[in-house]
Structure 1
Amino acid sequence: MTRTTPSRPLDVTVAFPELASLARTAVRLHPLPGAPTVHDSSVGGPLLWPADEPWPEHEPTYRYSGRLTTLEDVRTLRAVLTRAWSRPRGPRQNLLNEREQELVDRIHAGHSAELLPPGPQPLIPLAQFYARDVPGLPFPEGTDLLQVLWVPSAEIEGCSPAVQLRWRLSSQVEQVLAAPPEPACVEDGDHVPEPCLLHPEPVREFPPSHLLDEEWAARLLKWSEEQSVDYGNDLSVAPGWKAGGWPAAFTFRDAADSDELHCGECGGPVEALLTIGSSEWDGATGSWRPVEEGQDSEDGEKPTGHPYRTTHEPTMVTIGRGYTLQVYYCVGTPSHLPRTIMQ
């Protein structure tokens, strides 16, 4: 299935030729719900993991105090709501039937944190990328597969074993781990990705304003206002899930400085590796909506579809209040723990 980003409203390099040398190629991943296998690039799919290699774990740095959920409950809730939104109903008919409502209420009640066993918990698969599908990633020599795992909790931000990378050569995996371990409970169902197949598309990006000097950023802002176009939302970086390119703009906090943007293990420089968006586009970034989406409404809902599983939120991962998680990798040693920042 093809996904095509519309042409940008304007070519910013005509007005600012100096930006041309700063252009980077990002790969919009365009995840869509599917049934990926270990041999597919995916979000939330199974990993090509060697049967004889230990599965990564992480011990929480704090004791959970709120109600927890389970992966099974997250999957069940999504399945129930998907079925409910898909069937026709009258104007005053409840979305859920009595049995479904009881099940949803039980899931929303959660589980006591006391049920979580002490010690480290297994990470869950977030994504995997084959070089054949996403060639722009910085694969170290002798590797062709990147796997990303994380703990579905608030600990995904920072630099800790809660988010881990694995670079490997896929042909060396002879026997695949059939049943990876899963955590007994998870803190946040919004960090459990829905299995999605990818439809990669390279796009050209330019630096977000926070990475330009103040004078240049001011000129861009003035020009954007004169042209009735938004540099940040329309011309700079693509929204949604993407690999490589420029990092996402900071939307709710001050931009990170050199004290924050460094490898937590060696102190070396980091670069943008993976952008995890809460949505593929929104009201401000609608110009990036794929042309194949036709005349969908601005919030991404299909005219004949349902609002629960929309094409602009396919992974069902939400970062904070709808923000973006930027994953940075260590340029010198890509196997080091990544740096992650909510932006």
Structure 2
Amino acid sequence: MSRTTPPRPVDVTAVFPQLAPRARPATRLHPRPGSPTPHDSSVGGPLLWPAGEPWPHCEESHNEANDLYEAYGVYASQDHEWRDGPNPLVPVAQLYVHDVPVLRPPGQADLLQVLWCPFEHEPDYKPPTSLFWRSSAEVTEILATPPGPFAVEYEEYIPRPCMIMPEQITEYPNLMDLDKELQQRLGDWNNWQVAGAAVDSSWAPYPDSYYGRELSVAPGWKVGGWPRWGLTDPIALFCTACEARMVPLLTIASCEWDISNTGWVPYEDRHLITLEDPNAANPCMVQVSRSNRLQLYICPQSPDHPHASLIQ
């Protein structure tokens, strides 16, 4: 089943034409529990990994975390046998270009694979990620039994296998990515009224929040588009190889929607809004750094250059 985001209640570029050049395409992934195969785009599913290619591991020590857990009489995970040494990475996402055309793979690649270590590493306490671009046609024999991690800090870093239901949308910058003059215009209710925008008058005291919550950046897992900010002001990231300004690649979210702001919930999922099931808005059962988002960035000049990540 596909997923369809309701149209935005207002065409914001008709009210503020200055935003039109800032529009960016994004792909909402809409991961939902399923049984993906290595030939599917997925979250937490099996990867199309070549049988002859070594599985990636985290080489950092996890002993400090183990000591902490032992001090409290528990282990990082009851489902994984702890031992010292490199920790096999966990599949996070596999995305084929035919499902997510906003991807810009290098060369003949048509597939992006994202893995991470299920630990929050210092100094910024987020799971370190690895990206792999590959050509699916070149994978003639698939690794049948990938190694699983033997150390897991939080089970929420083991995504539930999900199929994705990609949907192409258009996003506009987060309010903090706009210049002060435009921020002031968005925050003036008179500008919305003069333009004839059919905005609920309950937003009159804070129209800039209306823009931020309903018209700019979609929640949930997505590729491309604009980043959300909140934990920090906007941060410009530059490629360590060529100094180009990096662009958003993948947003790994702790929830698909916020119960206090359901305007982005797809038509097909609106019956889930009133459920008391805490997993209704988190089908992948992933929690990133206290229910935040992990944003991955790549170099626009070459996706092969080192990527970067931020928690927001």
Aligned length: 292
- Over 3 Å counting, the alpha-carbon distance change for 1:53 and 1:157 in structure 2 is farther
1:290 aligns to what?
Answer: 266
2:253 aligns to what?
Answer: 277
Equivalent residue runs for 1:65-76 within 5 Å: 65-67=67-69
Counterpart of 1:219 in 2: which secondary structure? Answer: helix
Q: Which of 218, 241, 249 is matched with 2:221 structurally?
A: 241
- Over 3 Å counting, the alpha-carbon distance change for 1:156 and 1:288 in structure 2 is farther
Q: Partners of 2:97 and 2:45 in 1: how far apart?
A: 17
Unaligned runs of 5+ in 1: 69-107
Counterpart of 1:154 in 2: which secondary structure? Answer: coil
Is the CA contact (8 Å cut-off) linking 1:164 and 1:337 kept in structure 2? Answer: no
Deviation, 1:308, is 5.0
Tell me whether 1:122 sits opposite 2:92 in the alignment: no
1:250 aligns to what?
Answer: 229
Counterpart of 2:84 in 1: which secondary structure? Answer: coil
Deviation, 1:274, is 0.4
- Over 3 Å counting, the alpha-carbon distance change for 1:241 and 1:160 in structure 2 is closer
2:22 aligns to what?
Answer: 22
1:314 aligns to what?
Answer: 283
Is the CA contact (8 Å cut-off) linking 1:234 and 1:287 kept in structure 2? Answer: yes
Q: Partners of 2:170 and 2:105 in 1: how far apart?
A: 20
Q: What value does the CA root-mean-square deviation take over the aligned residues?
A: 2.6
Is the CA contact (8 Å cut-off) linking 2:103 and 2:223 kept in structure 1? Answer: yes
Tell me whether 1:339 sits opposite 2:269 in the alignment: no
Q: Partners of 1:178 and 1:323 in 2: how far apart?
A: 33
Tell me whether 1:4 sits opposite 2:30 in the alignment: no
Deviation, 1:289, is 0.4
Deviation, 1:255, is 2.6
Is the CA contact (8 Å cut-off) linking 1:240 and 1:279 kept in structure 2? Answer: yes
- Over 3 Å counting, the alpha-carbon distance change for 1:283 and 1:308 in structure 2 is closer
- Over 3 Å counting, the alpha-carbon distance change for 1:327 and 1:112 in structure 2 is closer
- Over 3 Å counting, the alpha-carbon distance change for 1:329 and 1:121 in structure 2 is same
Q: Partners of 2:23 and 2:294 in 1: how far apart?
A: 22
Is the CA contact (8 Å cut-off) linking 1:264 and 1:339 kept in structure 2? Answer: no
Identity percentage of aligned residues: 45
Q: Partners of 2:271 and 2:302 in 1: how far apart?
A: 45
Deviation, 1:138, is 1.3
Q: Partners of 1:295 and 1:219 in 2: how far apart?
A: 36
Counterpart of 1:140 in 2: which secondary structure? Answer: coil
1:154 aligns to what?
Answer: 120
Deviation, 1:159, is 11
Counterpart of 1:287 in 2: which secondary structure? Answer: coil
TM-score, length basis structure 1:
0.78
- Over 3 Å counting, the alpha-carbon distance change for 1:116 and 1:8 in structure 2 is same
TM-score, length basis structure 2:
0.86
Q: Partners of 1:136 and 1:220 in 2: how far apart?
A: 29
Deviation, 1:20, is 1.1
Equivalent residue runs for 1:74-113 within 5 Å: 109-111=74-76
Deviation, 1:153, is 1.3
Q: What amino acid sits opposite 2:285 in the alignment?
A: M
Q: Which of 293, 297, 301 is matched with 1:324 structurally?
A: 293
Deviation, 1:54, is 1.1
1:141 aligns to what?
Answer: 107
Counterpart of 1:250 in 2: which secondary structure? Answer: coil
Equivalent residue runs for 1:165-244 within 5 Å: 165-223=131-189, 227=199, 228=203, 230-244=210-224
Deviation, 1:211, is 1.4
Deviation, 1:155, is 2.7
- Over 3 Å counting, the alpha-carbon distance change for 1:130 and 1:158 in structure 2 is farther
